[in-house]
Amino acid sequence: MAVSTSDAPKTRRRGTDAPFAAQYHDWLRMMHLIRRFEERAGEAYSIGQIGGFCHLYIGQEAVAVGLISALRADDYVISAYREHGQALARGITPRAIMAELYGKATGCSGGKGGSMHLFDLARGFMGGHGIVGGQIPLGAGFAWAAKYRKTEQVSLTFFGEAAANIGSFHEALNMAGLWKLPAVFVIENNGYGMGTAVKRSAAITDLHLRAASYGMPGVEVDGQDIVAVREAAETAYARARAGEGPTLLDIRTFRYVGHSMSDAASGTYRSKEELDASRQRDPIALLEARMRDAGLLDDAALAELVASVAAEVADAATFAEESPEPEASELWTDVFAPTGEEG
Amino acid sequence: MAVSTSDAPKTRRRGTDAPFAAQYHDWLRMMHLIRRFEERAGEAYSIGQIGGFCHLYIGQEAVAVGLISALRADDYVISAYREHGQALARGITPRAIMAELYGKATGCSGGKGGSMHLFDLARGFMGGHGIVGGQIPLGAGFAWAAKYRKTEQVSLTFFGEAAANIGSFHEALNMAGLWKLPAVFVIENNGYGMGTAVKRSAAITDLHLRAASYGMPGVEVDGQDIVAVREAAETAYARARAGEGPTLLDIRTFRYVGHSMSDAASGTYRSKEELDASRQRDPIALLEARMRDAGLLDDAALAELVASVAAEVADAATFAEESPEPEASELWTDVFAPTGEEG
Amino acid sequence: MATLTYRDALNEALREEMQRDGDVYLMGEEVAEYNGAYKVSRGLLEEFGPMRVVDTPIAELGFAGIGVGSAMTGLRPVIEMMTWNFALLAIDQIVNVAAKIRYMSGGQIGCPIVFRGPGGAALQLGAQHSQAFESWYAHIPGLKVVMPATPADAKGLLKSAIRDNNPVVFIEGEMLYNLKGEVPEGEHLVPIGVADVKRAGQDVTIICHSKTVAPALNAAKALSEEGIDAEVLDLRTIRPLDEEAILRSVAKTHRVVVAEEGWYFAGVGAQIVDLIQREAFDDLDAPVLRVHQADVPMPYNKYLEKAAKADATKIAAAVRRVCYKD
Amino acid sequence: MATLTYRDALNEALREEMQRDGDVYLMGEEVAEYNGAYKVSRGLLEEFGPMRVVDTPIAELGFAGIGVGSAMTGLRPVIEMMTWNFALLAIDQIVNVAAKIRYMSGGQIGCPIVFRGPGGAALQLGAQHSQAFESWYAHIPGLKVVMPATPADAKGLLKSAIRDNNPVVFIEGEMLYNLKGEVPEGEHLVPIGVADVKRAGQDVTIICHSKTVAPALNAAKALSEEGIDAEVLDLRTIRPLDEEAILRSVAKTHRVVVAEEGWYFAGVGAQIVDLIQREAFDDLDAPVLRVHQADVPMPYNKYLEKAAKADATKIAAAVRRVCYKD
Ligand SMILES: Cc1ncc(C[n+]2csc(CCOP(=O)(O)OP(=O)(O)O)c2C)c(N)n1
Ligand SMILES: Cc1ncc(C[n+]2csc(CCOP(=O)(O)OP(=O)(O)O)c2C)c(N)n1
Ligand SMILES: [Mg+2]
Ligand SMILES: [Mg+2]
């Protein structure tokens, strides 16, 4: 793996197919599930069934699936507010997530968290955080805990490229590098922070080079090619579990939609042309082509997959709609730990 | 000037003497003045004439004098709490500084600031700040103001190497690089943040390499050789005034004393041997040798210089002792601007 | 007078002050090309250009410090916090530098800066995005804290804040931006530190600010039908607090309810209670009661959120209690 | 009982709890090899090693977040802030994560963490190093705020804080570290949320905490010679506040002075006044008065600093006024 102290950006290209072929179907289904889920969430939002802020993941599916599919069940995952896709990839059910977006008692945060605050402790899914960069030190903290307990767990932290300019990024990566924590820091580089393009917010645009400040490898990865993402993930996890320290991945991807439901996909800060161009390397289409080439997918199989995903998402929406609101008394619970269970 | 994206540390060696020979005497006198002033401040502190925290600059004199001697009168200087030397180099009188340490009304901050908060707006000396790293965005702000007003002023920001691990360093340098601000960021790298050696606080010890994250040159400089410091300063200022943007200087120096008056010079975290070794390249002795080689200094001249410096510091101490305390009413002034002078 | 939204009133204040004084500039996330996350700065980039309307990276601590530094040299920055929740990252520069630099420098260095943006809760934004921090900033000597509730006050107070030579924490409200009202054109200055009687009344005083002003007026309307004539006093400025206006009203009504959006413990209302019981102890016919957010992080669910928030119903109930009419 | 300094009582609490529970670790600047900037952690590195006594870079936001993250996995970190002034840089992690994570996650994820270090002013450290922020933390639901005034309480409360399953803001005092007192050996637990009558009295209640306890006792001593018998109530915990203990004392004395180190506006004292006038309105024979820091940034000059601080003289004067004896 390239250490980032040299100038040339390292782009991980499609790797050999062999090792992963058996998992393509699962990956493809999960990417379709994420996309369909997000489309449905967008519909629900636009008719007021979902409130607050809602940030969709459409276009970035290969990043979450490629990275999370390679994790151990006891590893930790943490992200920002654009985390529906990562939550699904980590195995939280569409029902529990959709119900959370609806604010229902059956949601994965009991209706108290919402779209930006999805949690599932049993799956090591640690949120869902709304303050840009705030999850980066937390991710380093999970890695610290893994090192403390000698469990060889990995802590996987997702954040947007705009978060690479905030102080917590610098402080957390320095300590992670200094202490060789088993952490993998993922810049989900979709090119924009709200309406601000990378070149207007970062003094350098090859963000993987920042790894050099922290004594860790920095790798640029093609985020539309799930195989490239998966390969980068495995290298980074192996390094982390071996006690060799953290890795910074700069994963280049695209956000097909607006920053949030209240932002247009194109217009003010990016052109329709740019947006259309970005869709040319669609992560789902790329994997489908790869599978067809390898004779692992035909129209019938794809149709069946798409149909089952649609059904699962429809079921999740129905479940969310029919689920009860939290009890009024829930307003007052979960502020403090139940008494009598001191450590 | 070397851009820091390559691995090899660039150490600026003694430059040619010619261009600066005329200024050696002033530099030497200022370095002696700083050292003698700090010795006297230390004495005053130990008998309770000075209170609070007191961080001495002994050993680092060439850094302040080399950098500040090359500034224009209308440039800005800002530092942390170890700033007596920089305040003197910027021309604040020993009387006004010593009086401030004594908390007297005649002090450069009216007795309200103290050792950590020396100010002189007329000289563009903007403090004296106590929160590690807090002055770095402020220094970028002076540079922003210079760019806004098109004045070709430079903003010179001093901070310790331990401050290079805090978020404000990252945020400020990124914006300075992004906006090509006329700023020079100086890591006064004395090897320790309180009791913590660089290698225990930073994931990489060649801190000038961090400049690569911000698209600016990063240069390692021999901070005991005032000529090397001065040369690095001139290159960086020229770049800033030309609108080419900021520079990060990693200036290697030594703190001969403890972190503050309440910390021993050696013992707990560094050995007597290490401390003695560091004194082998004393910045004052090095310049004296250079001057003697060039026939610019003899024993008589040196004795005279030392005597006049001693007299000036003694006068400053007497002035401070005899100066009045601030009026009791001063407690309530300077919280808000005088009314009636709205902008 | 033109009828403007609170948003456009702020925009007008910014435009007028930037036209008036070349040292005034606006800096923050998405303020320029995006016209502001809440469109408060619409059109300003076009009119004033990229040096005076400046998009920043996401680096609240850094750009707050850059703003403070530039103000130390005499510029008059307006630093937009996309929301005040994010200002927690910048609070060191606001509290340790902006609020103290004049004092620490013995009066040499001023800091004429405005930090502005929406505070408090909107709708279903969850715990991290729904916080009212005015009591925190008001706690700090050296800061002024301004919180307009109407479009006219928004314009007049922002203009005064920009001309003020001290750091001003100017807290708006996402839920107020679309509020419409009459706004005087041009040179309309509302002085900082002066409260405003939004409704005169005899029986009880409802002290409120920002987002609790409208509910207080609604409560007063409802109560008038029950024969309770409530005075609604809008603080407009939290610091310096208009103590005279508060005591004047209390001397008239002898009963007080303080309504604020934030949490109760050491909130703004607590300070007002302290003032009243100290300075008007014998005027009071009943203990002062407070209405505030439920003492929990803000929940996402819309019904729980509604139950958590201060509203007209809760204000009216508190008024009935202080009038012993419940 | 052994006589220990407040510093050594804290050290004993840390040592005992680290011996008791392998999930407890200490992290912060200079806590390990340097034995702590104020030597509170002396000897702990030696006994527990570098994974459990951890020196950090200067990165308050980062290591506070690392602590919070590790607590989310069930570890029980004690995060030392070299002083609470520097915690302003970390306050986003304390307020937006530690205080809210349990609520936002619907009760799934706890955060058993202690943030500790000296708060308030020492001697001549200037404006940026002399601030008391307890009212800020106490404002936030989800945080507990503990401020012991004696060595025994320091040990007993720190042990309770470390065993508490919630985030605890534990504020010590540089000026208290050398204070000596009797400290029970071993399993000495002082419950969080329980105030303590440090001196019983009949005529007036002085409510205080942390650094105002000693001056309150001195004032009470002086006042007793004037025939005023003052009760001194040490809050010990700011949040949850022991409201019963306060109201019990007020019901007895009918007169109250609240003394705190920090600024007045929306300070802890304001909340106590709010409580008392609401719950004990008819018990009060005089308005509650408050003693606090002058409403200015802390000056460096020693005489100005002394004049700015709350002390026994000011407390005694306030007591005379509430007793109408001045
Ligand atoms: C500290 C902070 N500042 C500002 C915001 C408002 N905000 C939310 S998302 C966002 C853009 C983040 O962009 P990026 O990190 O690239 O992530 P993306 O949205 O592209 O996934 C901003 C400015 C915030 N939530 N937190
Ligand atoms: C934010 C913050 N954290 C901690 C401190 C306490 N502190 C004061 S100086 C210092 C060490 C700084 O070392 P360095 O930056 O190398 O400067 P030097 O003292 O060596 O000149 C520390 C930890 C502080 N003042 N501010
Ligand atoms: Mg992005
Ligand atoms: Mg240092």
Average pLDDT over residues D129-152: 98
Query: Cα distance from A203 to chain C (closest Cα, Å)?
Result: 10
Q: Is there a contact between A167 and B165 if contact means CB atoms under 8 Å apart?
A: no
Predicted pLDDT at B340: 72
Task: Kindly list the distances between the CA atom of residue A32 and the CA atoms of A282, B11, C107, D321, in Å, as whole numbers in the listed order.
Answer: 12, 55, 64, 74
Instruction: Give yes or no: C182 in active site.
Output: no
Taking alpha carbons only, the member of C216, C215, C193, C218 closest to residue C206 is: C216
Average pLDDT over residues B8-35: 77
Residue B311 has pLDDT above 70, yes or no: yes
CA quadruple D28, D33, D39, D45: dihedral positive or negative? positive
- ipTM score assigned to the predicted complex: 0.97
Q: Is D82 in the pocket of ligand 2 (CB under 6 A)?
A: yes
Please tell me whether residue C19 adopts helix, strand or coil conformation.
helix
Residue B339 — very low, low, confident or very high, per pLDDT cuts 50/70/90? confident
Task: Kindly list the distances between the CA atom of residue B249 and the CA atoms of B2, C60, C155, C296, D168, in Å, as whole numbers in the listed order.
Answer: 11, 25, 45, 48, 41
Predicted pLDDT at C99: 99
pLDDT digits (tens, 9 = 90+) for B260-290: 999 999 888 999 999 999 999 999 999 999 9
Predicted pLDDT at B341: 67
Residue with CA at minimum distance from ligand 1 atom 20: A193
Partners of B136 on chain C (C-beta within 8 Å) are 65
Q: Which of C16, C108, C164 to mutate to test the interface with B (most CBs of B within 10 A)?
A: C108
Which ligand ends up closest to the CA of B80? 2
What would the DSSP string read from start to end of C200-240?
--SSEEEEE-GGGHHHHHHHHHHHHTTT--EEEEE-SEEET
Share of chain B above pLDDT 90, in %: 92
Residue B150 has pLDDT above 50, yes or no: yes
Residue B11 has pLDDT above 60, yes or no: no
pTM for the model: 0.97
- Lowest mean pLDDT, pick from B16-20, B160-164, B289-293, C139-143: B16-20
pLDDT digits (tens, 9 = 90+) for D102-125: 999 999 999 999 999 999 999 999
Nearest to D266 among C99, C139, C141 (CB): C139
Q: What is the pLDDT along chain A (343 residues), one digit of tens a residue?
A: 333 433 444 444 444 456 899 999 999 999 999 999 999 999 999 999 999 999 999 999 999 999 999 999 999 999 999 999 999 999 999 999 999 999 999 999 999 999 999 999 999 999 999 999 999 999 999 999 999 999 999 999 999 999 999 999 999 999 999 999 999 999 999 999 999 999 999 999 999 999 999 999 999 999 999 999 999 999 999 999 999 999 999 999 999 999 999 999 988 899 999 999 999 999 999 999 999 999 999 999 999 999 999 999 999 999 999 999 999 999 999 999 998 767 7
Residue with CA at minimum distance from ligand 2 atom 8: B132
Partners of B112 on chain C (C-beta within 8 Å) are 103-106
Residue B3 — very low, low, confident or very high, per pLDDT cuts 50/70/90? very low
Predicted pLDDT at A267: 84
B residues 320-339 lying closer than 8 A (beta carbon) to C = 333-337
Residue B17 — very low, low, confident or very high, per pLDDT cuts 50/70/90? low
CA angle centred on D65, ends D64 and D70, rounded to 5° = 100
Q: How far is the CA of A160 from the centre of ligand 1 (A)?
A: 8
Residue B160 has pLDDT above 50, yes or no: yes
Nearest to C278 among D89, D103, D289 (CB): D289
Partners of D64 on chain A (C-beta within 8 Å) are 137
Closest CA in chain B for residue C107: B334
Task: Judge whether A176 and A245 are in contact, CB under 8 Å.
Answer: yes
Predicted pLDDT at D326: 86
Q: How far is the CA of B183 from the centre of ligand 4 (A)?
A: 21
DSSP B324: P
Share of chain C above pLDDT 90, in %: 99
Nearest to C75 among B109, B128, B145 (CB): B145
Closest CA in chain D for residue A173: D62
Query: Cα distance from D267 to chain B (closest Cα, Å)?
Result: 19
Which ligand ends up closest to the CA of D81? 2
Please tell me whether residue B92 adopts helix, strand or coil conformation.
coil
Partners of D101 on chain A (C-beta within 8 Å) are 127
Whether D93 contacts chain A with CB within 8 A:
yes
Residue with CA at minimum distance from ligand 1 atom 5: A132
What gap in Å lies between CA B142 and CA B33, rounded to an integer? 28
Q: How far is the CA of A256 from the centre of ligand 3 (A)?
A: 11
Query: Cα distance from B319 to chain D (closest Cα, Å)?
Result: 16
Average pLDDT, chain B: 94
Partners of C70 on chain B (C-beta within 8 Å) are 141-142, 144-145, 148
Taking alpha carbons only, the member of D106, D80, D319 closest to residue D223 is: D319
* Ligand 1 atom closest to residue A188's alpha carbon, by position in its atom list: 21
What gap in Å lies between CA C221 and CA C205, rounded to an integer? 13
Predicted pLDDT at D61: 98
